[in-house]
Every structure is written in structure tokens, then in C-alpha cells.
Chains A and B, each alone.
Chain A
Amino acid sequence: MSLAIFAYYLLLAVIAFGVFFYNRTYNNLTARNKELLHEKNLIELKTKAFSSQMNPHFVYNSLSAAQYLVMINENKKAFNYLSDFSLLLRQMFENAKKTYVPLTDEITFVKRYIELERLRFNNSFTYSINQEKIDESKNYYIPTMMIQPIVENAIRHGLAPKKVDAELKIDFETKDDLLMIWIDDNGIGLKKDLQSFPKYENSALKIISERLRLINETNHRNSYIKITDKKTTGMDGVLVELALPVQNN
């Protein structure tokens, strides 16, 4: 009799142990799964940030511009142009290693880029950067190389072909854990036929939205990019609204 009771308790113990062990393993595995997914997302984010480094053609075109300055004997201008260009390259290579960079650095980077392009396009467009609505008490970090490709599209496909009264406006505003950026140009607008876009410029915007999707998935954010052809509101140009996740550091 006592043997039966003993066997009964032994069976209960084995089951309890089994359930406990199963649960522990299951929880561990699930946690590990989540961890792996998170890691995978992080790796992807890093790769994507890396692949969204600057348009290689910008490099070639800038060097052509430097050749021009040398050729017309504007040696000092050529010298300064190459110095600024080197700074921009250096910052790009530095940033490519990081996923988040200080907002102020990124703004300097974009400004430097715009100045170089203005030189290249004979000052054919003006620009303004409005940062008043950024909470300066905080030290914001944003994902790198999100703004420049959009600005590049605005200049190359909107403002440069327009040639007169071309204007670029960039506005920043912080909203909770998001940084709102509006990149607003009055250029020639979106061309219907995106086929004629070179592969690179097409994919730059794709990479940005893909990166934002990964960030949203990994960090539970609501970042987004929205592109509006202002023709629909009776105006010229393109407005890009970018909501970037920010980190306080």
C-alpha cells in the first residue's frame, strides 16, 4: 500500500519537475528568441545605416566641381572647397560606424553639405534652417544619414533644375520622443516617371523607410516619412515630413 502511495507521490514529483523544467526552458527560449530578434534588428539597422551613406555620385560631382575651380584659377576657392569636402567625408565615415549621432552634429553635416551644393550649383538656390523649436536643454541623438539623402533629392531633382527663386526650408521641432523635420522645397516637383531616376536615388528613400520600420519594430516608436507633392495644394515643389526617434543622452 505504502509502495503505491510512494509511487503516486513520486509520479507527482516527476510531473511537477517536468512542468517546471519545461516552463523554464520555454521561457528561456522565448526570451532568447526575443533577444535574437532584437539583435537581428540592431544588426540590420547598423547595416542599413552603413548602406545609406552618401550618394557616391555626390563625391564624383564634387571632385568635378573642384577640377573646375582649379581650371578657372580660383585656387583659393578650390582649396576651401576641398577642405570642406574633406570635412564632410570625414564626418560621413565617422557617422557610418554609429547608429545614433548628436542632433547638432547631424545639422552641421547637412548644412555643410548644402553649402557645398550651393557652390556647385552657382548659388542658384537659397536655404534656411530653423532650429528654434528644438528643446535645447536636452542632448538629442538621432539616427544618422536620414536627413541628407532627402535634402540631396530636393536639391538635385527639385531646386537645381528650377534655377530661379529656388528655396529650401528645413524646420525642426521636438515632440515627445520624436523629432519632427520638414524639408520643404519650391522646386520643379516630383516627376511622375520615377523610371528615369537613377537606381541610387530611388533606393535612398527606400532605405530610409526600411530603417524607420526596423526602429519602430525594435524600439516601439512611431517614426515615419511622408512625401507630399505640393502640386496637390496648388504650389510648387515637394514637402517631406520626417518623424525621427530621438534618444536623450
Chain B
Amino acid sequence: MKNVRAAILDDEISNIEILKKVLLDLENVEVVWTADNLDTALTNIETERVDVVFMDIQLPPYTSFELLPKITNLNFEIVFVTAYQEYAVRALKMAAMDYILKPFKESDIIAAIEKVRNKQNKFGEITGLVKNYFSNSPENFSKIVVHVADGYDIVDINKIMYIEALDSYSKIKLSGNQTYVASRSLKDFEELLTEKGFYRVHKSYLINVRHMIKIVKGVGASIIMTDGASIPISARKKDVFFEELKGVISF
């Protein structure tokens, strides 16, 4: 059973304690940090990677909705735990994984942890490469294999839109809004995929040049992808990138 690293944000110590106890009673669940205010939570989020943060919404004088935009790397699931049911819709729009009402039942928490655990399995590891069947050369692969909950997904690399760095992890974004999280660094993917038409435009992004549809020039230069995503080009790489592009574009 996969280990789940959890964290708790609530302004009431008693709520933190009660949730902590319920979580620690579960198998393979760790409580990595707890915080009773937004600032502490933000510091913890930036230093300790977790799988899920259980957070209260009302944290006077703030709400935890104000915390989310400040997080640069939203690489964990959010489960709201609150006495206020009127926030549910907004919470779901913010892509919360679950919404639990206080006073909560132990089974609510167990269900949330299970959701986190299952999602983790699905966001599996890249376990291998599929060789191009028409060639015996391992360099000639066109697909990668991803370990998922119910087996293996075989992904055509042409369908990869871009890969984003999440600390030592990487998020692989496919066309059709499908996503995988792999426990390989972006540098690994860069080495693997540069020859396949991928380009590292930013320290956090490796893009598939096949999926570019627009290059926005200017101070904050960026690339628009076929799915509408806007990928920043780092200032340092901009000139080299444009130079190399010129070589490809012929008039």
C-alpha cells in the first residue's frame, strides 16, 4: 500500500489534533506538518513535499482560497475540511479533491485518503520505452510506457504537449487533457526527448515543438500550445531559441 504524506492547516489547535489522530490511526499515512495560519502553511508547502493538505477554509482574517494563488507549485491534492457548506462549489472549482463537513466522520477522512492514494497510483511511473517495431535500435522509440493502477498505459510521444517540472517530479501533459506525474526529473526527460523534437524553453518546461501554435514575443515571451496553454520562455534561453527557430523556418 502506497504511503500517503499528509499535512493539516486549521486555525484551531483542537481541530488539528483531532484530524492528526484520525490520520495517524490509518495505515501508511504520515502527518508531515501542521499549521494554524497561512504563512506557516506556505513556508511548509515550499519546503516539504506532501501528497495532500487537509485545510479549513475560514482562517480569520483570511480564507484558504487566498493561499492557493500564492503557491507556485501546486503539487499536492487539497481536501477542504470546514463547517461551512456554502463554499463547496468554489472549492470544487479550485480543483479540490474532496470537501468534508465538520464535525466529520472518520470514514470521510478514510475515503479522502483512499482517493489520494488511488490517484497516486494512476499518476504512475514511466517504466519503459517502447521500441519502434520497424527498427531494432532502442534509440528509435516512439512510445513510452506508464505504470498505472490497472496496468500500463502506452503513450505516443507525439501526443505529449509539454512536460513540467515539479521539484524532483515531472508532470506530463498530453493532448486531450490527460496528465501523468512521473518520479523522474525534467532533466531526465530532456535527455531522453531532445532528439524527439522536444525543447527546454524554461527551467520548468520541456515542450514538444510539434504542438506549438504561436510564439508571443516581448519581455515576457511565451509559447502558446495547441491546447491553449501558455508556456513561458526564460529570458536566458529566449535568444538561443529564436536563433534555432530561424534555422528551421524558411521563407
Residues in chain A within 8 A of chain B (CB atoms): 57, 60-61, 63-65, 67-69, 71-72, 120-122, 156-157, 160-161, 188, 191, 196, 198-199
Check if B84 is an interface residue, CB within 8 A of chain A. yes
> Can you list 8 A-B contacts with CB-CB less than 8 angstroms, sorted by A residue number?
A57-B83, A60-B102, A61-B83, A69-B14, A121-B12, A160-B11, A161-B11, A191-B61
Report whether B60 and A71 are in contact in the complex, using a CB–CB cutoff of 8 Å: no
**Is B13 a contact of A64 with CB atoms below 8 Å?**
no
Indicate whether A120 sits within 8 Å of B12 (C-beta atoms), given known contacts A63-B103, A67-B103, A199-B86: yes
State the majority secondary structure of interface residues on B: mixed
For chain B, give the interface size range: 20 to 34
Q: How many A-B residue pairs have CB under 8 A?
A: 61
Given A61-B83, A121-B12, A198-B84, does the pair A67, B60 have CB atoms closer than 8 Å?
Answer: no
Output the residue of B17, B61, B65, B86 with the most chain A CB within 10 A. B61
Residues of A within 8 A of B102 (CB): 60-61, 63-64
Q: Tell me if B18 is interfacial: C-beta within 8 Å of chain A.
A: yes
Q: With A198-B58, A198-B84 as given contacts, are A65 and B14 in contact (CB-CB < 8 Å)?
A: yes
Dominant secondary structure at the A interface: helix
A122 touching B11 by the CB < 8 A rule? no
From B101, which residue of chain A is reached at the shortest CB distance?
A: A60
Which residues from chain B contact A68 at a C-beta distance below 8 Å? Answer: 14-15, 17-18
Across the A-B interface, the 8 shortest Cβ-Cβ residue pairs: A60-B83, A68-B14, A191-B61, A57-B83, A64-B103, A63-B103, A68-B18, A157-B60
B17 partner, pick from A72, A121, A157, A191, beta carbons under 8 A: A72
Report the Cα distance A53→B249, complex, angstroms: 71
Cβ–Cβ < 8 Å partners of B63 in chain A: 196
- Determine if B21 and A71 form an interchain contact, defined as CB atoms under 8 angstroms apart: yes
- Residues of chain B whose beta carbon lies under 8 Å from any beta carbon of chain A: 11-15, 17-18, 21, 37, 58-63, 65-66, 83-84, 86, 101-104
Q: How far is the CA of A67 from the CA of B12 in the complex (A)?
A: 13
| A188 B17 Cβ-Cβ under 8 A | no
Residues of B within 8 A of A196 (CB): 61-63, 65-66
Q: By the criterion CB–CB under 8 Å, are A57 and B84 in contact? A: yes
Contact A160 B14 (CB under 8 A): no
Q: Closest residue of chain B to A155, judged by CB?
A: B60
Partner of A122, one of B14, B58, B59, B61: B14
Residues of chain B within 8 A (CB-CB) of A64 are: 12, 14-15, 18, 83, 102-104
CA distance A64 to B81 in the complex (A): 11
